[in-house]
Amino acid sequence: MATGPRPYTEDREVWLGVHEASAMLGVSPATLRRWSVAGKIVTFTTPGGHRRYARSTLEHLLPDAASTEPSIAALGGSTDQVVDILRASIASACPDVSWLDGADEQTRVVLALGGRTLVDGVLGYVDGSSRREREAALAPALQAAALHGRLARRRGGNLGESVAAFQRCCSLLLDVLGELACRHGLATPATTRMLARANDAADRLVVALVLAHADAPEVASR
């Protein structure tokens, strides 16, 4: 019986897309992409620019992944899922934001995209395995929070109203994360750490909104 290496092992390798690979490791697609950029996971890029991950490489990461706390994505909290949950509650939580009255479709689209960026940033911050990863994940969210503050100021919204509405949205996000942790039986210490990190991210987003609101020129009439 031959004991040497089998021929054509490359042909038998299974290559996974971003979503399949992230599901296998229990991390969000955004986190997996950041690991790829940082060189933590070797990838193959197709001629069309899509990343592919070797299943054999991912399997070697599973023992380490299993010893860590589960990611929010593994708890069923992908960015899309969390945004869908929040969308059903935000209108009732923030019914009296005066500067949104009469906002055109473009403004509402910008705010919706910004909201998604905020959620993605908080989730990435919570799931980040290092300070560098957390900061990279939160950076776009900080920019989105600043944009929110500038829009509020330009449309005549006062700072107190803007901060109060923003904080209510952040509280809704923390509630969603807490519910996910409870639903999946996450241990109390792990839940506490997750919510503490999410709260830290939310506090920084509020600061970014406040600073941008203070610096933006006010437009009295709309």
* Cβ atoms of residues 120 and 146 within 8 Å: no
In Å, what is the CA distance from 110 to each residue of 89, 103, 107, 144, 210?
Answer: 19, 11, 5, 9, 19
The answer to whether the CB of 99 falls within 8 A of the CB of 132 is: no
The mean pLDDT value for 99-116 works out to 85
Q: Determine the Cα angle at 19 with ends 13 and 22, to 5°.
A: 80
What is the pLDDT, as a whole number, of residue 61?
A: 67
* 153 HSE (CA, 13 A, CB side): 17
C-alpha to C-alpha distance for 213 and 151, rounded to whole angstroms: 8
**Residue, of 9 and 57, whose pLDDT is higher:** 57
Alpha-carbon gap, residue 54 to 20, rounded angstroms: 11
On whether the CB atoms of residues 208 and 142 are closer than 8 A, the answer is yes
Mean residue pLDDT across the chain: 81
Give me the mean pLDDT over the 136-146 stretch: 95
Q: Say yes or no to pLDDT of 45 above 60.
A: yes
Stronger pLDDT, 8 or 110, i.e. the higher one: 110
Quote the pLDDT of residue 2: 43
Q: Which of 43-47, 88-92, 129-133 has the lowest mean pLDDT?
A: 88-92
Residue 124 has pLDDT above 70, yes or no: yes
Convert the pLDDT of each residue in 50-89 to its tens digit. Answer: 888 888 777 776 644 444 577 888 888 888 889 988 887 8
Q: Residue 198 above 50 pLDDT? A: yes
HEC-encoded secondary structure of 30-52: HHHHHHHHCCCCCCEECCCCCEE
CA distance 151 to 110: 10
pLDDT at 222: 47
Q: Is the pLDDT of residue 96 over 60?
A: yes
Phi and psi of 156, rounded to 5°? 85, 10
pTM for the full predicted model? 0.66
What's the token pair of residue 203? Answer: 């506090």
pLDDT band at 104 (very low <50, low <70, confident <90, very high): confident
